[in-house]
Amino acid sequence: MEGRRTRSEESQDARIDYGIIFSVLVLAVIGMLAIYVAASHDTSTTSVSHALLMQFAWYVIGTIAIVVIIQFDAEQLWKLAPIAYGIGITLLLLLLIFYSRSYFARTGAKSWFAIGSLTFQPSEVMKPAYIMMLARVISQHNNEYPEHHVNSDWLLIGKLALWSLPVAVLLKLQNDFGTMLVFIAILGGMILVSGVSWKIIAPVASAAVLLGSTAILLVIYGRSILMQIGFKTYQFDRIEAWLNPSASTSSTSYQLWQSMKAIGTGGLFGKGFNVSNVYVPVRESDMIFSVIGENFGFIGGCVLIFIYLLLIFQMVQVTFDTKNEFYAYLSTGVIMMILFHVFENIGMSIGLLPLTGIPLPFVSQGGSALIGNMIGIGLIMSMRYHNKSYMFSNTKDFH
């Protein structure tokens, strides 16, 4: 009968996670509003309508990517992981030759392809491919070594390091340290949930903290040592701006100082929509949180953070519902990717962390990062969509 839905249609709807869709949609609306404000008050040649149209087009492409990825179940994603990883590595290799010269002159990084005004950053779509590959490696290893021992854990870390090494080398050659931090966060999060013993994790984490602290001290007292191992002048400037943002507000600390000023002047409730009295460089992408802080104040910033927490909670819930080992590691990587982006972007906007050029997921202007994040959402939604078929499956059945 017309008007009555079939049981299969209702079942299919139940497999679509509308909670995640709603959270991403709200973030997209916030992003469009923030980009509108940034473009309206900037002096760049890009018009407001062009900026919004391009961002909307990227959302459409990202939505298509989600629809396509949802069709792949756990077994198909397992088989696609090496292919996706290989394509990503190939793109990163090609980038060393065909990188955008104009972007390199402005940023010092060989991170973008450019065709006219259209740019693409392969490392952003490499992130979900990297997550898929690590999830496969961890699942396969744990099937081969069901009982964890220190030796087998070190073997797993060695395998993950081998798959991570090409990415690290290529990002180093591109001079893209900020993106490298995201991959490190993904790797760290996936190792934490892989079952590796704390006898390994604790000393490694302690060594990482010691190394980071030593690096900060060397920036202040031993810069020549860091320069010998490849650190650049702009990286020193960013750390100095973070340690003392009021020291040189007209030069190296200008962007951070202006961001903090914009957020601070927003107060509790903000100045109101489309009111901008403080100029912040690159606020449409890297510093988009300054727009939200200035327009909507502390309350608006808290609401945005709450939406991110809601999205992450929903992704964690999907992970527990699926009861699939490969999916669990896959979702861990996606959650770490988004969580680190949010933490780093907001942290650097308020002076809590050094500037790294990492965008705010689903909000910042930029197609490459948006597509990478939408692919990650597609992987999570695929878990819910195929939950009935693979609820009790084990990755050993995929071989």
| Listed range (44-58, 179-193, 361-375) with the worst mean pLDDT | 44-58
Encode pLDDT of 10-30 as tens digits.
455 567 889 999 999 999 999
Q: What is the DSSP letter of 387?
A: H
List pLDDT tens digits, range 324-346.
889 999 999 999 999 999 999 99
- Distance, CA of 315 to CA of 326 (rounded, Å): 15
Cα–Cα separations (whole angstroms), residue 72 to 101, 126, 205, 381, 383: 37, 18, 36, 10, 9
Q: How many CB atoms lie within 10 A of CB 233?
A: 11
Tell me how far apart the alpha carbons of residues 309 and 319 are, in angstroms, rounded to a whole number: 15
Lowest average pLDDT, out of 138-142, 147-151, 161-165, goes to 147-151
How far is Cα 137 from Cα 82, in angstroms, rounded to an integer?
10
Across residues 286-308, what is the average pLDDT?
95
pLDDT of residue 390: 44
CB atoms within 10 A of CB 76: 13
What local confidence, expressed as pLDDT, does residue 247 receive? Answer: 66
State mean pLDDT over 70-75: 91
CA 355 to chain centre: 15
Q: pLDDT value at position 89?
A: 96
Span 201-221, average pLDDT: 82
Give me the phi and psi of 115, to 5 degrees please: -125, 100
Looking at residue 376, its pLDDT comes to: 96
What is the rounded average pLDDT for all residues in the chain?
86
Number of H helices, E strands in the chain: 16, 2
What average pLDDT does this structure show over 195-219?
Answer: 84
**pTM metric for this prediction:** 0.89
Structure tokens at 49: 């309508």
Whole-number pLDDT of residue 314: 94
pLDDT at 393: 47
Ranges of each domain in the chain: 14-194+257-398
Determine the pLDDT at residue 249.
65
Q: Is the pLDDT of residue 8 over 80?
A: no
- Give 278 or 395, the one with higher predicted confidence: 278
- Looking at residue 253, what is its pLDDT? 78
Q: What is the C-alpha separation between 24 and 361, in angstroms, rounded?
A: 9
Measure the CA–CA gap between 182 and 337, rounded to whole angstroms. 6
- Give the confidence band of 298 by pLDDT, cuts at 50, 70, 90: very high
Whether 272 shows a pLDDT value over 50: the answer reads yes
What is the reported pLDDT for 170?
A: 94
Q: pLDDT tens digits for 92-141?
A: 999 999 888 888 877 778 888 888 778 889 999 999 999 999 999 999 99
pLDDT score for 248: 65
Please report the beta strands in the chain, taking only residues with DSSP state E, as ranges in sequence order. Answer: 113-115, 118-120
- pLDDT at residue 45, as a whole number: 55
Can you give the length of the chain in residues? 399
